[in-house]
């Protein structure tokens, strides 16, 4: 088992709503005990990409939509295309915050790590699931970025694997230096 307490804590960028922050589109607070249980081991850097680009709480929902210009992040009721704004916010945030890992909200068009549903322009799900735009930018920076979502961390095996991988590179670095 990986030992914490070396003095250096891994930095984990986390979807702010998973820490109970009041930033969801429907203004509801969610509770993610598995995520909160890691607060003794890591330093969390919370981010809400949607409020980060200036959207309010509550707000009209946004979705990944397949369009003639590819998959876009759209506020469906207004038709606003937020893709460029979200990519630009995400790049700036990720350049500023060096992360050892990410814990992001499942199924979000901004944060989802693998399961954000994609819709057609008529509002029908088209059966494809992708990374949200923020997660996509994190993966663009490193294909090997360590990522989990709150649903994955409910599985003890995935939680253990996440913690092990989070601490493993630090152990290797220490060995090489000594
Ligand atoms: S899923 Fe991401 S964008 Fe949505 S409220 Fe949570 S942190 Fe904000």
Confidence of residue 170 (pLDDT cuts 50, 70, 90): low
Q: What was the pLDDT predicted at 168?
A: 86
Q: Give the β-pairing of 116-119 and 125-130.
A: antiparallel
Q: What was the pLDDT predicted at 169?
A: 58
- Ligand 1: which residue has its CA nearest to atom 6? 17
Q: Is 109 in the pocket of ligand 1 (CB under 6 A)?
A: no
Does the pLDDT of residue 97 top 60, yes or no?
yes
Whether the CA torsion 43, 49, 54, 58 is positive or negative: it is negative
What is the residue-averaged pLDDT of the chain? 92
Is the model's pTM score more than 0.85?
yes
Q: What was the pLDDT predicted at 143?
A: 87
State in Å: Cα 142 to ligand 1 middle: 21
Tens digit of each residue's pLDDT (9 = 90 or more) over 126-153: 999 999 999 999 999 998 899 999 999 9
Please, which contacts does 142-146 make with residues 24 or more away whose CB atoms are closer than 8 Å?
Answer: 145/99, 145/101, 145/102, 146/100, 146/101, 146/102
Q: What was the pLDDT predicted at 74?
A: 98
Tens digit of each residue's pLDDT (9 = 90 or more) over 3-20: 444 568 999 999 999 999
State in Å: Cα 84 to ligand 1 middle: 17
Confidence of residue 100 (pLDDT cuts 50, 70, 90): very high
Confidence of residue 49 (pLDDT cuts 50, 70, 90): very high
Q: Is 17 in the pocket of ligand 1 (CB under 6 A)?
A: yes
Give the list of residues 6+ apart from residue 15 with CB closer than 8 angstroms, or none: 46, 47, 48, 103, 104, 105, 108, 111, 150
3-state secondary structure of 81: strand
Rounded mean pLDDT of 8-34?
Answer: 96
State in Å: Cα 30 to ligand 1 middle: 11
Q: Is 16 in the pocket of ligand 1 (CB under 6 A)?
A: yes
Confidence of residue 175 (pLDDT cuts 50, 70, 90): very low
Q: What was the pLDDT predicted at 8?
A: 84
């Amino acid at each position: 088992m990986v030992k914490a307490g070396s003095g250096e804590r891994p930095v984990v960028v986390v979807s702010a709503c998973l820490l109970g922050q009041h930033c969801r589109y429907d203004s509801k607070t969610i509770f993610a005990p598995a995520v909160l249980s890691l607060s003794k081991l890591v330093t969390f850097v919370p981010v809400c990409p949607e409020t980060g680009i200036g959207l309010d709480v509550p707000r009209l929902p946004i979705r990944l939509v397949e369009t003639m210009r590819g998959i876009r992040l759209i506020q469906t009721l207004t038709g606003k295309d937020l893709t460029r704004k979200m990519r630009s916010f995400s790049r700036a945030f990720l350049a500023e915050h060096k992360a050892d890992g990410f814990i992001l909200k499942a199924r979000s068009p901004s944060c989802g790590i693998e399961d954000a549903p994609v819709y057609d322009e008529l509002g029908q799900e088209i059966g494809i699931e992708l990374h949200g735009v923020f997660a996509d930018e994190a993966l663009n920076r490193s294909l090997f970025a360590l990522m989990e979502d709150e649903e994955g961390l409910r599985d003890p095996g995935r939680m253990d694997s996440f913690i092990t991988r989070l601490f493993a590179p630090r152990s290797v670095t220490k060995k090489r230096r000594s």
